[in-house]
């Protein structure tokens, strides 16, 4: 079993009444996968969008889980959940009903055509590092450092805990 951290985000309602409900539904969907054991979920945070600013603010969280799946199989499961929630990939950094990103997969470093772990922008995004620090401040990001130290380098002014 491998410890994995998943970044979750949403700024569109889709079939639900709020992005928060999209995230809650995604968390519930993950708990139903037999090879995944949920360990902890951070608080939900509100953040400004990256990229086009003519979209709603995002709701973000980080999930800590344990899985026997390999990284590609986990990615397939995450994309199935995204698709079930109406995820469309039409605009880079555009609005989305649900975004599930593998942030860390154990201590593995993965670079292939489908997946990069640690997530490419993990150290530059308060909406990832702050919730990650909340649930695992001593977590080490391979080749980057300890999460709690990395958080102190970020400007968190536009991040609001919900």
Cβ proximity of 67 and 35 under 8 Å: yes
User: Residue 79: what are its φ and ψ, rounded to 5°?
Assistant: -70, -35
Residue 94 has pLDDT above 90, yes or no: no
Q: Which residues are marked as active site?
A: 87, 96, 99, 101
3-state secondary structure of 18: coil
Q: Please tell me the distance from the alpha carbon of residue 86 to that of residue 49, in angstroms, as a whole number.
A: 19
* Between residues 87 and 108, the one the model is more confident about: 108
The DSSP code sequence of 113-162 is SS-EES-TTGGG-HHHHHHHHHH-TTPEETTTEEHHHHHTTS--TTEEE-
Q: What is the pTM of this model?
A: 0.90
pLDDT at residue 124 in the model: 87
Sequence ranges of the domains in the chain: 2-161
Assigned token pair, 42: 């951070």
Tell me the pLDDT band of 88, cut-offs 50, 70 and 90.
low
**Per residue in 11-59, pLDDT tens?**
877 666 788 999 999 999 999 999 999 999 999 999 888 876 777 888 9
Tell me the pLDDT band of 81, cut-offs 50, 70 and 90.
very high
Residue 162 has pLDDT above 80, yes or no: no
**Fold of domain 2-161:** Alpha-Beta Plaits (3.30.70)
User: Residue 75: what are its φ and ψ, rounded to 5°?
Assistant: -60, -45
Q: Is residue 118 reached through a cis peptide bond, with omega within 30 degrees of 0 on the bond before it?
A: yes
């Amino acid at each position: 079993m491998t410890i994995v951290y998943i970044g979750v985000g949403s700024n569109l309602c889709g079939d639900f009444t709020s992005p928060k409900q999209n995230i809650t539904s995604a968390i519930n969907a993950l708990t139903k996968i037999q090879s995944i054991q949920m360990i902890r979920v951070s608080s939900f945070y509100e953040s400004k969008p990256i990229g086009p600013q003519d979209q709603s603010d995002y709701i973000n969280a980080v999930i800590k889980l344990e899985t026997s799946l390999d990284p590609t199989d986990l990615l397939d499961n995450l994309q199935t959940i995204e698709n079930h929630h109406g995820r469309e990939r039409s605009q880079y950094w555009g609005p989305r009903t649900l975004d599930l990103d593998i942030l860390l997969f154990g201590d593995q470093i993965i670079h292939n055509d489908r997946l990069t772990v640690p997530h490419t922008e993990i150290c530059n995004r308060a909406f990832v590092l702050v919730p990650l620090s909340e649930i695992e401040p001593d977590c080490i990001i391979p080749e980057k450092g300890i999460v709690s130290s990395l958080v102190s380098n970020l400007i968190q002014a536009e991040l609001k805990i919900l």
